[in-house]
Amino acid sequence: MTGDDPASAKKSGRTVIIGLSGPSSSGKTTLARLLRSIIEDEKRVRTFIIHEDDFYHPDDKIPVTKTARGELVQDWDTAGAIDIDFLASALAYVRKNGRLPPRLQSKEDQNEATNPGVEEARIQDLSRSVRERIANEYSKPAKGEEEEKDEVPLTIAFLEGFLLFAPPAAEDASHVLRSVHDSIDLHLFLPAPYDIVKARREARSGYVTIGPAPTPTAERAAHIGHSSVDLDEKDESAPQNFWTDPPGYVDDIVWPRYVQDHAWLLMPEGEDGTTQSLAAASSGTRSESELLKLAGQAVSVRTDTGVLVAPGKGRKPMTEILDWAVDEILGFLKV
């Protein structure tokens, strides 16, 4: 956890960034949208969502990789596909200003929305309960006190994405996601087993992207650098393409990348109550096949890294995951 202590800044217009991460199709976006609607209160709390998918490089800068079958495909599931500098800068802007930078025009919000799997009555009950508890601690300035237009005591930004967290600094201080991880106040992780990820991902129609996709070539597999982005300049460009996973993409790219990138957080299959990570267990034999074999369904997750893990190993209904997330957030806010 970073930033000021929440208890000492409760009434000073605090901005909190809550990270929701996990593998593709684990329910991150659905949970973020539910939390936004439940916690939003025009008198006390401003909420909005930051989608990591909105920070992809343009289509012609997405890295290209070769599958085990020798096919060249774009790799949308690697850190190199994300403009991490842009994301970290946007988070710093949100922290300072309590709102999204004008530059961000969400492409993710144009992708298909799914049924959240939570009854409307339950959502309304949670919303009333949460707002009552927050009202006891957060309030508008008293009548007569100076108050800026649209100011609220608390702003909560929900950052959701498949690559947000880094190992403890003692294990890897220079991790590629360090700047993003350290910008997040509360880290919530939604594990999901391989079979669910595969079924859900392959059922999706595709994703809106920000530019025309090139024909993959071997030359494009070289390193692609970051570009500078003006956060105060509005992005008026419209989505220009629609990505559809090619056959075998989950097994070739999505799942192996997830296991490799989270080897520091995952534990060997079936191991609980230990702090040995998948990476440590496979030290010296970190081939892709070895990691995948050790990971299994990849639902054994460390609990000693500061990352809070949803219960149920990815098989709990969204109603229970929502209850868990609300409890963790209210506990963090101390309300």
Confidence band (pLDDT; 50, 70, 90) for 104? confident
Burial 211-224 (b: 16+ CB within 10 A, else e): bebeebeeebeeeb
Tokens representing residue 246 in the block: 């090619």
pLDDT of amino acid 334? 92
95: enclosing H helix or E strand: helix 84-97
Of 108-117, 210-219, 296-305, the range with the lowest mean pLDDT is: 210-219
Q: Is 86 helix (H, G, I), strand (E, B) or coil?
A: helix
Question: In CATH terms, is domain 14-333 a member of 3.40.50.300?
Answer: yes
Of 78-82, 147-151, 242-246, 255-259, the range with the lowest mean pLDDT is: 147-151
pLDDT in tens, 155-193: 999 999 999 999 999 999 999 999 999 999 999 999 999
pLDDT of amino acid 194? 97
pLDDT > 70 in the chain, percent: 79
What is the C-alpha to C-alpha distance for residues 54 and 71, in angstroms, rounded to an integer? 27
115 pLDDT more than 50 = yes
102 pLDDT more than 50 = yes
Whether residue 190 contacts residue 20, with contact meaning beta carbons closer than 8 Å, is answered with yes
113 pLDDT more than 80 = no
pLDDT in tens, 77-86: 999 999 999 9
- How is the chain split among helix, strand and coil, in percent rounded to 5? 35, 15, 50
pTM of the predicted protein model: 0.84
pLDDT of amino acid 30? 95
pLDDT in tens, 54-63: 999 988 899 9
What is the C-alpha to C-alpha distance for residues 55 and 107, in angstroms, rounded to an integer? 9
What is the C-alpha to C-alpha distance for residues 273 and 165, in angstroms, rounded to an integer? 21
pLDDT of amino acid 267? 95
What is the C-alpha to C-alpha distance for residues 157 and 324, in angstroms, rounded to an integer? 18
Regarding predicted confidence, which is higher, 271 or 207? 271
Q: Residue 28's closest CA among 308, 327, 320, 318? A: 318
Whether residue 73 contacts residue 213, with contact meaning beta carbons closer than 8 Å, is answered with no
Residue that the structure tokens 């992207």 belong to = 209
pLDDT of amino acid 163? 98
| 283 Cβ neighbours under 8 A, 6+ residues apart | none
pLDDT of amino acid 205? 66
